[in-house]
A and B are shown apart, each in its own frame.
Chain A
Amino acid sequence: MTSPDPTEPGAPPDGTRTVGIVGTGGIGASVAVDLVVHGFRVVAVDTDPAALDATRALLADVARFLPAVRPGLTRVPAPQSRLVTSTTLAPLVDCEFVVENISEKWAAKRDLYRELDALLPAGVGIGVNTSSIPIGKLAAETGRPGVVVGIHFMNPSYLKDAVEVMRAETTSDACMDYVHGLLGALGKTGIVVGDFPGFVSNRISHQFFNEAARVVQDEGVEPAVVDEVFKKCFGHTMGPLETADLIGLDTVLLTLEHLYDSYQDPRYLGCDLLRRLVADGHLGRKTRQGFYPYPAVGPAATSATATAGGRP
């Protein structure tokens, strides 16, 4: 990794550092916004122009209001001018690092990594923002395995203090230093875990999501009651079912499939209720219906709901 100097992890970005985002569904959009409000320039790429528009809409609200809930953060001047959007990969060539957030489908990821590897200057790293795809397997598709690293951002990124960092066997020390520096500039801590399917977070959380859905399905417990137990008894900020709605139930089901393929553990077999919701297009917040309804109220609710979910 050439730039910037990883020995200055907290160096405040002044708009001179540019990071790329590929895939601006729910999580990709929130990472793009997180980077901009922390002073980075961002090149955001998605094949769907609507997803890029939603990223701009999300940035408009978050850049203005986030300082209310993140003390110490100030409003960054002209946030929209710091975001470049594109439906092709070409503008990523100017980025110091790229965070990839496309759907959790192996063939699509593999093809994208080959394209990125051909496009990006040598030494520019790629952060794999995945729920369950092995980092080492993607790194091996590139000629730069030393700078391919897993960074599992939590949703929404701009409200989270930590991420999981998945170090593959091939990931270099310099790349790890760079990632810690980047995360430091975002006010986050990177918790380094190994490169195994689902990592720590999703290997466990998806059993919660699936089992919580089963409790609704088999025992007739209301989703709000399941979530209330997690919030009030365990002190979680959100319950598993509202979290699944926020992530997107289609993404949850895809991740469960990966986890089942990896571990052959039937606890990862998506339950009937989850499958039915996805088959019916009830994907959570982004479609206004998941385990919960998300009715539109007023113009602000329309944009907020549309941008909180987004594509996986």
Chain B
Amino acid sequence: MTAPQTTDEIDAAVLEYLAAHDTGPAPERDDDLFRTGRVNSLFAIQLMGFLESTFAIELDVDDLDLKHFASIAAITEFVRRKQRAAEHA
């Protein structure tokens, strides 16, 4: 498994991805990415594809809730939970 695993690693990878799509200053870990206008519907779809391929997870129908993607902290928590579930599957 080469996918980032720790909270810090996942945070950093997500932040790097966001930075590549946004010219503004880096968001704080708990900033609401939708409310601040950093993430719109178009980008949310791209972000989900990025999360799947980067972190070796698979989003199922129950995961399609924007609250999982509302902040860096939420994304990292979601990714870790999916990775743990995959390990125990």
Instruction: Name A residues whose Cβ lies closer than 8 Å to a Cβ of B.
Output: 61-62, 64-70, 74-75, 156, 159, 223-224, 231-232, 237-238, 292, 294-301, 303-305, 308
Residue in chain B with minimal CB distance to A305:
B46
How many angstroms between the C-alpha atoms of A159 and B45 in the bound complex? 10
Tell me which of B16, B44, B49 contacts A69 (CB under 8 A). Answer: B44
* Chain B residues with CB under 8 A of A67: 61, 64
Tell me which of A61, A70, A232, A238 contacts B46 (CB under 8 A). Answer: A61
Q: A69-B66, A75-B61, A301-B50 are in contact. Are A61 and B17 (CB under 8 A)?
A: no
Find residues 35-72 in chain B having any chain A CB closer than 8 Å to their own CB: 37, 40-42, 44-46, 48-54, 59, 61, 64-66, 69
Chain B, 14-47, contact with A by CB distance < 8 Å: what is the 0/1 string? 0011001101100000000000010011101110
Whether A297 lies near B16 (C-beta < 8 A) is yes
Q: Which of A64, A67, A232 has the most CB of B within 10 A?
A: A64
* Chain B residues with CB under 8 A of A301: 17, 20, 46, 50
Whether A156 lies near B44 (C-beta < 8 A) is no
Whether B23 lies near A292 (C-beta < 8 A) is yes
Whether B45 lies near A294 (C-beta < 8 A) is no
* Chain B residues with CB under 8 A of A300: 46, 49-54
* Chain A residues with CB under 8 A of B52: 300
Please name 4 further chain A to chain B contacts, defined as beta carbons within 8 Å, in addition to the given A237-B40, A303-B49, sorted by A numbering. A68-B69, A294-B20, A298-B17, A304-B45
Q: A298-B50, A300-B54 are in contact. Are A65 and B44 (CB under 8 A)?
A: yes
Task: Show 16 residue pairs from A and B whose CB-CB distance is below 8 angstroms, ordered by the A residue.
Answer: A61-B46, A65-B48, A65-B59, A67-B64, A68-B66, A68-B69, A69-B66, A70-B41, A159-B42, A297-B17, A297-B20, A298-B53, A300-B49, A304-B45, A304-B50, A308-B42
Whether B46 lies near A64 (C-beta < 8 A) is no
* Chain A residues with CB under 8 A of B44: 65, 68-69
* Chain A residues with CB under 8 A of B64: 65, 67-68
* Chain B residues with CB under 8 A of A69: 41, 44-45, 66
Whole-angstrom distance between the Cβ of B21 and the nearest chain A Cβ: 7
Tell me which of A61, A238, A292, A298 contacts B48 (CB under 8 A). Answer: A61
How many angstroms between the C-alpha atoms of A68 and B64 in the bound complex? 4
* Chain A residues with CB under 8 A of B51: 300
How many angstroms between the C-alpha atoms of A156 and B21 in the bound complex? 17
Whether A295 lies near B61 (C-beta < 8 A) is no
